[in-house]
Amino acid sequence: MIQVESLRKEYDGVVAVDDVSFTAGAGEVFGLLGPNGAGKSTTIGCISGLLSPTAGRIRVLGHDVMRDSRSAKSALGVVPQEIAVYEDASAEENVTYWGRAYGLRGGRLRARTSAALELAGLGDRAREPVKRFSGGMKRRLNFACGIVHEPRVLLLDEPTVGVDPQSRVRLLDLVREQAGAGTCVLYTTHYMEEAESLCDRLAIVDRGRVIASGTLEELRTLTAERDLVRLTGRFDPAAVSAGLAAAVPGVEVVSTDAAHLTVSVEEGSRRLPALFSALASLGAEIRETTLTRPSLESLFIKLTGKQLRE
Amino acid sequence: MPFLLASAVKDLRRRARDPLSLLLWVAIPLVTGLLLDLAFGSEGSGPSAHLLVADRDDSLVSGLLVGAFSQGELGELTRVEEVDAPAGRRRIEAGDASALLVIPPGFGADALAGRTSTLTLIRNPAQQILPDILEESLGLMLEAAFYLRQLARAPIALFSTAGLPSGAATYPDSTVASGAVTINELVARVQPYLFPPVIGLETAEPEPDARAERGFAELFFPGMVFLALLFMARGMSEDVWRERAQGTLRRAVVSPRGLGEFLGGKLLAGAVLLAVVGVAALLAGRFLFGLDLRGVALAVLWITFAGTAMLALFVLVQLHATSERAGDVLTTAVLFPLAMAGGSFFPFDVMPGWMAAIGRRTPNGWALDELSRILSGQSDLAGLAAAFAGVLAVAVAAFLLALRRLRSGFATGG
Ligand SMILES: Nc1ncnc2c1ncn2[C@@H]1O[C@H](COP(=O)(O)OP(=O)(O)OP(=O)(O)O)[C@@H](O)[C@H]1O
Ligand SMILES: [Mg+2]
């Protein structure tokens, strides 16, 4: 239902998204996982018609978002990363207004408005001015405004940021419900756990590029069940790169500089003593060690040499 | 309800929750009008001096003197009203006129005989300029009368020496006619030297003939209304920044009904408010200046229409600024020259010709000119249609360009 082909977006020469391609189907939650500045919002902006791509092609339900933008936009529901509601209006007025923007009217508009508010847990506060809402409530209203017209394709840009754990669970349930009802959901996040618990397939993005994509299972196998060991201290990058793999069989250096070293290794906890002594003989000084079990996090670290939430 | 209407209603609701600025906009024309009214007095008859004359002489000479105030350029500036002396004093005390001229009995006979006599001019202390003009004019006239008497010794002698034929209340027509003709010719010849200040005053105000028929209200009021419209349009145009800041503009961009109706709704909401202010302004004009409400329905429509065009123009300017602050500066930089050239500070009638010619070609100046015509009952269908087409063209162009800018990244800060 969403097809993104070789999407590229530059801002005044700065490349924000570079050769990104993916597809997402009906009833599927497709995740875009990546750190700050990875290009998630830019990708969503290009799909929703907010931004015009520098190159590439995007189709929503087969409609080209540039050439047939009205049809594409009609199919989309957008929940932007930044809350976008009228503070001086009530929750109900907000949802109703955006419902009209998608052509709803009359009884159906009323029914959909109260359903969306109910889903977002704002049914009893519908008539209150949004000014008085908490941050989390505004976020849920932001969500309600995006789903009022029952879009077939839903774009969610980090919808749970700044939401209390309870509301978060509720929002994630909502997303699952939407997908369960056949909606195609594109979900961006930098929360690993969300991506793991929610997404059927996902793309890991960093600095505008897709560095890995597939189902959760496929991505897990990419890490080859290896643990990641991250060390900080003082290292001689040249000596470590050259000598460590020979000293400890099965160890793979992911990245290294004078203060950091990341290696991947099977059964990391058992190999730690050997790793430490080998490093000592290579003149390294170790101050801190972190061991990460195979996960999207370790995959991300393996692929980029850095943690997701840096 | 179509999205266009929903957008307008949404904006009106938001405005209603911020009644202070709304009140301010309605108050601008009212307060301006009130101030101008206090400054110029409320005769409702233009920036003219109101001269009360108590002619206790009632002679030919005093008649000529009084008549001089209603002739030529001075006449356009002065409204003369004959009163009796006590009533005149009372009215001056009540601030009801610019000055009271008291002509004592025997003034005519004294003047003709060359004897001194004293005229009394009582000024309204509350007024500055107009009594000055009257006083100076009177002084000049008396001087002129002196020279005139020298120049016209013969015809004047005719009156004084011949005296009234016995039993007649007035001089014979033939005597008056020949005397008057001679004096008129003399006056015509010496007039350029006799009334320099009056002439000097007039040069600042071309088209005295057209102006003479217009009152103060008709001269200044349309400009005031347009000043209010410009301020209001500028104020309302800031809303695009608010929509951008709260992210709702982005939602509008990504929704299929999107921007056309969203922006159209903004203009529609603006039009409603402009109409309300237009009605308020016209009512104020009616009660403060006794403005003739001949074309009031048309005037309200025209104010609404022209104001909406200004709103579209200001929105366009806002959308090309790099920040809200820059938009503020930019729209102000547009507003003042437009208001100045477009006749909102000084009526076209008192501008130098070349400036008025430019001013009448600004969109607001063009619309203002038409409003003046509507209010004075001088508008005709062809002129109205031309002005409508012109202002509409400006509005549509501004709207389309604004829409293009909204689509090309204003919402995302690009
Ligand atoms: N309007 C803009 N002008 C210039 N550069 C921009 C603009 N918007 C985003 N960028 C840049 O594009 C890159 C991608 O930004 P984007 O907002 O898409 O990232 P993101 O993955 O959504 O990050 P976050 O998790 O912080 O929301 C960043 O380097 C950012 O600085
Ligand atoms: Mg983002």
For residue B85, pLDDT over 80 is answered with: yes
What is the bridge-based pairing of β-strands A55-60 and A63-64? antiparallel
Task: Map residue A269 onto helix, strand or coil.
Answer: helix
A205 with A274, same domain: the answer is: no
* pLDDT at residue B17, as a whole number: 83
A27 with A85, same domain: the answer is: yes
Nearest residue to B69 (alpha-carbon basis) of B99, B107, B104: B99
Report B:258-317 residues touching A (Cβ under 8 A).
Answer: 258, 262
Cα–Cα distance for residue pair A271/A284, rounded to 1 Å: 17
Closest approach atom of ligand 1 to CA A11 = 4
Q: Is residue A306 part of a domain?
A: no
> What domains does chain B contain, in order, with CATH numbers?
3-42+214-410 (no CATH), 49-194 (3.40.190.10)
A48 with A105, same domain: the answer is: yes
- CATH number of the domain bearing residue A209: 3.40.50.300
Task: Map residue B205 onto helix, strand or coil.
Answer: coil
Cα–Cα distance for residue pair B338/A237, rounded to 1 Å: 68
Structure tokens at A264: 């991947």
Q: Is residue A222 part of a domain?
A: no
* pLDDT at residue B214, as a whole number: 44
- A196-212 core/surface letters (b: 16 or more CB in 10 A; e: else): bebbebbbbbbebbbbb
- CATH number of the domain bearing residue A232: 3.30.70
Q: Is residue A300 part of a domain?
A: no
Q: Which of A183, A215, A247 is the last residue of a domain?
A: A215
Q: Is residue A171 part of a domain?
A: yes
Cα–Cα distance for residue pair A14/B189, rounded to 1 Å: 82
Structure tokens at B348: 């076209």
Rounded to a whole number, what is the distance in Å from the CA of A76 to chain B's nearest CA?
8
* pLDDT at residue B177, as a whole number: 66
A29 with A143, same domain: the answer is: yes
Give the number of whichever ligand sits closest to the CA of residue A43: 1
Q: Is residue A307 part of a domain?
A: no
Cα–Cα distance for residue pair B349/B197, rounded to 1 Å: 20
* pLDDT at residue B127, as a whole number: 65
- Which of B6, B17, B258 lies nearest to residue A97, judging by beta carbons? B6
* B411: contact with A, CB 8 A cutoff: yes
For residue B31, pLDDT over 60 is answered with: yes
CB B224 within 8 A of CB B33: yes
Q: State which H helix or E strand residue B307 sits in.
A: helix B296-319
Closest approach atom of ligand 1 to CA B412 = 1
Closest approach atom of ligand 1 to CA A9 = 12
DSSP 8-state secondary structure symbol assigned to residue B158: H
A133 with A204, same domain: the answer is: yes
Mean pLDDT to the nearest integer, B43-57:
71
Band (B132; pLDDT cuts 50, 70, 90): low
Q: Which residue of B has its CA nearest to A101?
A: B257
CA distances from A161 to A198, A238, B96, B244 (A): 15, 41, 72, 21
Chain B residue numbers touching A11 (CB-CB < 8 A): 414
A207 with A238, same domain: the answer is: no
A180 with A51, same domain: the answer is: yes
Chain B residue numbers touching A70 (CB-CB < 8 A): 256, 258
* Residue pLDDT tens, chain A, 310 long: 899 999 999 998 899 999 999 999 999 999 999 888 899 999 999 999 999 999 999 999 999 999 998 999 999 999 999 999 999 899 999 999 999 999 998 999 999 999 999 988 899 999 999 999 988 889 999 999 999 999 999 999 999 887 888 888 888 988 999 899 999 999 999 888 888 889 989 998 988 999 888 888 788 777 666 777 889 999 888 888 888 888 888 888 888 888 888 888 887 778 888 889 888 888 889 999 888 776 777 777 777 777 665 4
Q: Which residue of B has its CA nearest to A129?
A: B17
CA distances from B300 to A105, B212, B218, B303, B313 (A): 33, 26, 16, 5, 20
- B122-159 core/surface letters (b: 16 or more CB in 10 A; e: else): bbbeebeebbebbeebbebbeebbeebbebbeebbebb
* B173: contact with A, CB 8 A cutoff: no
Chain A residue numbers touching B256 (CB-CB < 8 A): 70-71, 73-74, 101-103
A242 with A115, same domain: the answer is: no
Write out residues with Cβ below 6 Å of ligand 1.
Answer: A 11, 14, 16, 34, 36-42, 81, 190; B 412-414
A102 with A129, same domain: the answer is: yes
* pLDDT at residue B43, as a whole number: 44
Give every strand in the sheet of A184-189, ordered side by side: A76-79, A153-157, A184-189, A29-33, A201-206, A209-215
A147 with A283, same domain: the answer is: no
Number of domains in chain A: 2
Q: Which residues pair with A180 in a beta bridge?
A: none
Q: Is residue A119 part of a domain?
A: yes
Task: Map residue B247 onto helix, strand or coil.
Answer: coil
A124 with A232, same domain: the answer is: no
DSSP 8-state secondary structure symbol assigned to residue B409: I
ipTM above 0.95, yes or no: no
CB B145 within 8 A of CB B153: no
- Residue B404 Cα, ligand 1 centroid: separation in angstroms? 24
Q: What is the domain extent for residue A169?
A: 2-215
Q: Which residue of A has its CA nearest to B246?
A: A84
Lowest mean pLDDT among B135-144, B250-259, B279-288, B376-385: B135-144
Q: Is residue A154 part of a domain?
A: yes
Band (B207; pLDDT cuts 50, 70, 90): very low
A147 with A79, same domain: the answer is: yes
Mean pLDDT of chain B: 77
Greater model confidence, B255 or B80: B255
* pLDDT at residue B204, as a whole number: 28
CB under 8 Å to B244, separation ≥6 — which residues?
A: B250, B410, B411, B413
Best probe of the A interface among B254, B263, B408, by most A CBs < 10 A, is: B254
Q: Is residue A308 part of a domain?
A: no
